[in-house]
Amino acid sequence: MSQTNKPSASRRQFLKTSSALAAAGAVAGTVLSPSTSRAGYHVFGSDTIRVGVIGSGGRGSGAMADALNAQSGNVEVTAVGDLFADRPEGALGGLKERYKDRIKVTTDTTFIGFDAYKKVLETDCQIVILATPPGFRPLHFEAAVAAGKGVFMEKPVAVDPPGVQRVLRATEEAKKKGLPVQVGLQRRHERAYMETIQRLKDGIIGDVIAARVYWNQGFLWVAGRRPEQTELEYQIRNWLYFNWLSGDHLVEQHIHNLDVINWLMDDYPVKAEGMGGRQVRTGPQHGEIFDHHAIEYTYANGAKMFSQCRQIAGCWNEVEEYVHCTKGYAHISAGRIYDLSGKEIFRSDGSRGGHGQEHVDMYADLARGLIPNEGEYGAKSTMTAILGRMSTYSGKSIRWDDAMKSERKLADVDAMTSLQSEAPVKPLENGEYEIPVPGAGWEKVLDWNPDKRG
């Protein structure tokens, strides 16, 4: 991951770093993120960082606040773009009260529509936050890198294999240009996770045999259909429930748990077998996604990851990660490690709060002359979740190498120019959406027959 470009500017302070560096050094000897050293390189040429935002919904406004909190006085939000005119005002209203003159967005730097991302990238912002529904992420990330912007992008970074490949290509281009890339897989920045994962990697309880990961919870919000909406607007407003926008909750949400085990393993699964369906959320308001999945992932060394995710009310809930090793087991998310007798042999007192810490870490890296780039693991953990969805939707055993070669795009978002554009998914005559049927209709979710690939 080394850079060959020689720095063209002498070292000057990028940010005021005292508090950020103290936080960044909380885990001695730990590499905060895959970063490229640019000793003596002054990244943007100013001690004040101008941030643009593409997507100003709940996560976009949250990421804005996290960025503003990460560097008191050194970050300004200067431009916002969104598909919907009602979003930016709502997102900025509360932030203006709290951060006052650090919200520099004006009517001239507020952009609406499918081309709003282009207009944000044409401004003088230096870092852009990408927080639209994930289906748009590869397009926006690629454009941001081409425009020479640093990027903080929310997870997942794609919803299909072609999108993952697009993100991987743009990640390599960002490395060549020396642009920071941060991905919102915040567990990698929580000190409790960092300490626990490091102890496990050091072999405190031997080799990994199996892991168990869960994101089981109740229902989430539903955006009701309004008579004046086009089908495309309805789907985007209700984006959680359409695969071309969210990838299913397996991809949009469960990615966090899957990423923790990939991090521990320093690897990605070679295959997945799973099952899932729609048991409770069966109405058209819940689009086309499943409400539960269970997947067995296999890594190259034979270790297994057993995965569950569910969004059904009235059931037991758990959002955790566990690992079982040759000499003990660990409750990773709790920061606790046990020997085979059940005796606790390690407990982390490290901090949590990853949403804010990931921004602190990015600016701290830059201040030290490092260019963080998390694009590769962000893309490959996204692909891990997509691999699982392919297995549950088709009912087939899906190999990573085959899945990565898939050319099946869920939507051509590049071609969308207005809310009058054709929606990628269309309701049936009864108003419902076609749902994948495992074992019967693999061709609906794959572009090959896995039974003929050996």
Spell out the long-range contacts of 15-18 with Cβ–Cβ below 8 A and sequence spacing 24 or more.
Answer: 15/47, 15/49, 15/71, 15/74, 15/363, 15/364, 15/366, 15/367, 16/47, 16/71, 16/73, 16/74, 17/364, 17/367, 17/368
**Domain limits for position 361:** 18-188+355-375
Residue 210 has pLDDT above 80, yes or no: yes
Tell me the pLDDT tens digit for each residue of 427-448: 999 999 999 999 987 777 888 8
Q: Are residues 211 and 170 in the same domain?
A: no
Q: How far apart are CA 420 and CA 273, in angstroms?
A: 39
Q: For residues 247 and 386, is the Cβ–Cβ distance under 8 A?
A: yes
Number of Cβ within 10 Å of residue 88's Cβ equals: 23
Q: Are residues 371 and 265 in the same domain?
A: no
Alpha carbon 174 to its chain centroid, in Å, reads 17
Q: Are residues 169 and 233 in the same domain?
A: no
> Which whole number is the average pLDDT over 225-238?
97
Residue 207 has pLDDT above 80, yes or no: yes
Q: For residues 217 and 386, is the Cβ–Cβ distance under 8 A?
A: no
Q: Are residues 300 and 313 in the same domain?
A: yes
| 275 in any annotated domain | yes
Q: Are residues 116 and 214 in the same domain?
A: no
Q: Are residues 205 and 242 in the same domain?
A: yes
| 1 in any annotated domain | no
Tell me the pLDDT tens digit for each residue of 348-377: 999 888 999 999 999 999 888 899 999 999
| 25 in any annotated domain | yes
Tell me the pLDDT tens digit for each residue of 308-355: 999 999 999 999 999 999 999 999 999 999 999 999 999 999 988 899
Q: Are residues 180 and 317 in the same domain?
A: no
Q: Are residues 360 and 290 in the same domain?
A: no
Q: How many domains does the chain have?
A: 2
Say what the pLDDT of residue 16 is: 33
List, as one string, the DSSP characters of 296-323. EEE-TTS-EEEEEEEE-TTS--EEEEEE
In this prediction, what percent of the chain has a pLDDT beyond 90?
Answer: 78
Model confidence at 412, pLDDT cuts 50, 70, 90, reads very high
